[in-house]
Amino acid sequence: MGGINCRPGKMACRVSEDDQEEYRLEYAHVVKNVFRYIEMFSHANALVEELMFLEQKDTERSSALISKATC
């Protein structure tokens, strides 16, 4: 493994082909994890919205039943 070879004061760095491939694979792994987290968060958000909708329906039903009982 050659590692990163940078010269002080120069803007160019040389990275060996093996290291470049390793960095690409690591980057792909990070991107995959980011998309997985987004997918899990979206799924959790959909479940929370569904629960809130069901809770609202139950509250409306309960209010209607209370109104009927008091009339």
Q: How far, in Å, CA of 29 to CA of 35, rounded?
A: 10
Other beta carbons less than 10 A from residue 24's beta carbon: 10
Q: Are strands 13-15 and 4-6 parallel, antiparallel or unpaired?
A: antiparallel
Residue 35 CA to residue 28 CA, distance in Å, equals 11
Q: Which amino acid is located at 21 in the chain?
A: E
pTM of the entire structure?
0.57
The tens digit of pLDDT for each residue in 15-71 reads: 888 888 999 999 999 999 999 999 999 999 999 999 999 998 888 888 877 777 776
Q: How far apart are CA 61 and CA 66, in angstroms?
A: 9
